[in-house]
Amino acid sequence: MLLSGKRLLVTGVLSESSIAYAAAKLAVEQGAEVVLTGFGRGLRITRRVAEKLNPDCPVLEMDVTAPGHLEAVASDLEQRWGAVDGILHAIAFAPPSALDGGFLTAGWPEVSTALEVSTYSFAAMGRVFGPLLAAAGGGSLIGLDFDATKAWPGYDWMGVAKAGLESACRYLAHALGPQGTRVNLVAAGPLRTVAATAIGAFGGFERSWEERAPLGWDVRDTTAVGRTVCALWSDWLPGVTGSVIHVDGGAHAVGSGRLPEALAEAS
């Protein structure tokens, strides 16, 4: 059992197609004890999905933009377990005006929301839950990413937020490393999750992966990403921190497949 005895906190379970659900399901199967979080109208949905796990998992309310929510969850987990071995930050949001061509027109209120929810919350979780991870001997904090080395049409301010997330990962790895905490991101290929439905350009991502992924890529299968999260939670990667692990069929390593016209003529 890869995760026997591990105590894990998982955010972002909104449906059975969620990456977070795949990670939580595999973790439970591998012997972990899991607590989920949800908030607002989605809390009821998270609780319903949690019942599909075997055994089902407790669900705590946690809105990363609400004062005191993180601290309240940390207090609950301290009383419940005394320590936390692993956390999955599967939290991202950008208002519609900050996506699908809104890069130059979105105002600061919309942009600040995207950055607070998608980027700052990762650092905030590291700060608040850091002592619980330290109490477990260090533990593993993982976030979900989408390749931020490129400008993806339609991704706009969420792409900027993900670039910030990658930088925050490195700084958190530096800050929490002395206590033994590993901090990493898993950059998944495009998957048909609830979050993906908010991006009108998602179909273009699918076509890009069909052309470039050497291993192929199934936008409906979250298993590979869930397994990678579980591997990072485990004790088998003790020297890995501050890294972005690409789980995308290899698409990040391959060009578009089309040579620029001038280069094609020269070749």
Q: Measure Cα distances from 27 to 4, 146, 168 in Å.
A: 9, 22, 25
The one-character DSSP state at 98 is G
CA dihedral (216, 217, 218, 222) positive or negative: positive
Instruction: Round to whole Å and give the CA distance between 101 and 245.
Output: 28
Instruction: Round to whole Å and give the CA distance between 76 and 70.
Output: 10
Structure tokens at 8: 């894990």
Instruction: Round to whole Å and give the CA distance between 70 and 67.
Output: 8
The one-character DSSP state at 118 is I
What is the strand order of the sheet 140-145 is part of?
A: 59-61, 33-38, 7-10, 86-89, 140-145, 182-188, 243-247
Residue 155 appears among annotated catalytic residues: yes
Which candidate in 6, 21, 25, 162 is catalytic?
162
Which candidate in 6, 21, 25, 155 is catalytic?
155
Question: How many CB atoms neighbour CB 95 within 10 A?
Answer: 17
Reduced to 3 states, what is the DSSP secondary structure of residue 138?
coil
Structure tokens at 219: 């936008």
Contacts of residue 66, Cβ cutoff 8 Å, sequence gap at least 6? 39
Catalytic residues: 155, 162
